[in-house]
């Protein structure tokens, strides 16, 4: 009589060319090529009802996540920052691919009840995210080149060429983003968000992309998904300094921060921003508070499918004007 096959809780460390897998507590990690064919072959050996904890690494984990989900396995995607903090909490000093695969399997085994299962993104989400991130890299590179070559007369012409090329690429990325927004029927959602003072097209794309990615019980859950919830350390009477969890997409947070900077100069948000500065908040802290406010309002507009009604916000919770 054949022995029943026991489901496993596996951890998978992801790189561009290779996947390192810890498939059980009594096995050693092993590697397979990160290719569709190799993934398909390996998944055939994984027992039914098994679960995988996969490290989120750029877009290199997507093929495995999608195939594993399609094969009926429970998939949990763990971002690198969360894994790093878990490693630190255990006092693990060595960081290797094999160790990370083992750590992911352990994390899944211990924390599975608190994790949200991964599901494929809606149409257009993956390309929107990819384009936003690539455009951000171009903007970052342009800024670095400007800082590096500024004032060097010898490179003035070259710097001008680089600036023009980067700006052209940024426009092309934005054009493609607008095409996807149209193709996926998200234009009305973006129109609503761009009514919020300070929120431009790119920020609206980022917020919409985040909203359609998951189901959120309330605006606090949406803020947490963006990684803008505050984590505070406390022991007895001692309370540590709060910090952002930064669990979500870093590019969406950057865009939202820029929106807050722009919005802080508008009639709508000027008093709200000034109020928090007067209370002793630093500039960055006040902008984070405003960013969260804007994220919650954006969530409300998308959830209720209603338009923004212009209001002026003071430091308190109630709008005036």
Q: Residue 10: which H helix or E strand, with range? A: strand 9-14
What predicted TM-score, i.e. pTM, was given to this entire model? 0.75
236 vs 137, which has greater pLDDT? 137
Judge contact between 229 and 245, C-beta under 8 A. yes
Q: Residue 70: which H helix or E strand, with range? A: helix 62-70
Average the pLDDT over each of 133-142, 228-237, 249-258, 282-291 and give the range with the smallest value: 228-237
Q: What CATH number does domain 9-114 carry, 3.30.420.40, 3.30.365.10, 3.30.1490.20, 2.40.37.10?
A: 3.30.420.40
Nearest to 298 by CA among 219, 209, 186, 240: 219
Q: What is the pLDDT of residue 312?
A: 77
pLDDT digits (tens, 9 = 90+) for 131-167: 999 999 999 998 888 888 777 777 888 888 989 999 9
Distance between CA 23 and CA 168 in Å, rounded? 47
298 SS3 class: helix
Q: Exposed, middle or buried by CB within 10 Å (0-12, 13-18, 19+), for 233?
A: exposed
Alpha helices in 150-235 (DSSP H): 156-183, 187-193, 201-213, 219-225
Q: What is the pLDDT of residue 181?
A: 94
Distance between CA 56 and CA 169 in Å, rounded? 27
pLDDT digits (tens, 9 = 90+) for 104-126: 999 999 999 988 899 888 888 88
Instruction: Tell me the domain boundaries of the chain.
Output: 9-114, 125-320
Q: Is a pLDDT exceeding 70 seen at residue 233?
A: no
Distance between CA 2 and CA 7 in Å, rounded? 15
307 contact partners, CB below 8 Å, separation of at least 6: 192, 195, 301
């Amino acid at each position: 009589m054949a022995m029943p096959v026991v489901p496993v809780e596996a951890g998978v460390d992801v790189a561009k060319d290779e996947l390192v897998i810890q498939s059980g507590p009594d096995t050693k990690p092993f590697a397979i090529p990160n290719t569709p064919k190799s993934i398909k072959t390996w998944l055939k050996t994984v027992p039914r009802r098994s679960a995988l904890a996969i490290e989120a690494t750029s877009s290199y984990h997507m093929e495995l996540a999608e195939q594993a989900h399609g094969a009926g396995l429970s998939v949990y995607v763990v971002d690198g920052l969360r894994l790093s903090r878990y490693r630190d909490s255990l006092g693990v000093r060595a960081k290797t691919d094999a160790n990370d695969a083992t750590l992911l399997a352990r994390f899944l085994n211990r924390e599975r009840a608190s994790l949200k299962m991964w599901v494929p993104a809606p149409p257009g989400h993956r390309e929107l995210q990819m384009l936003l991130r690539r455009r951000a890299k171009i903007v970052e590179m342009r800024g670095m080149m400007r800082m590096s070559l500024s004032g060097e007369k010898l490179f003035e012409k070259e710097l001008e060429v680089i600036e023009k090329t980067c700006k052209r690429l940024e426009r092309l990325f934005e054009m493609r983003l607008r095409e996807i927004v149209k193709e996926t029927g998200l234009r009305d959602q973006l129109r609503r968000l761009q009514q919020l003072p300070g929120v431009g097209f790119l920020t609206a794309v980022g917020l919409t992309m985040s909203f359609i990615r998951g189901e959120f019980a309330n605006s606090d859950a949406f803020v947490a998904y963006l990684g803008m919830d505050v984590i505070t350390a406390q022991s007895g009477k001692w309370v540590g300094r709060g910090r952002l969890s930064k669990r979500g997409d870093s590019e969406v947070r950057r865009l939202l921060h820029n929106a807050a900077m722009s919005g802080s100069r508008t009639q709508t948000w000027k008093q709200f921003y000034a109020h928090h500065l007067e209370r002793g908040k630093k500039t960055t802290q006040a902008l984070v508070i405003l960013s969260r406010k804007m994220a919650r309002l954006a969530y409300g507009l998308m959830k209720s499918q209603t338009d923004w009604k212009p209001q002026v916000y003071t430091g308190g919770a109630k709008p005036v004007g």
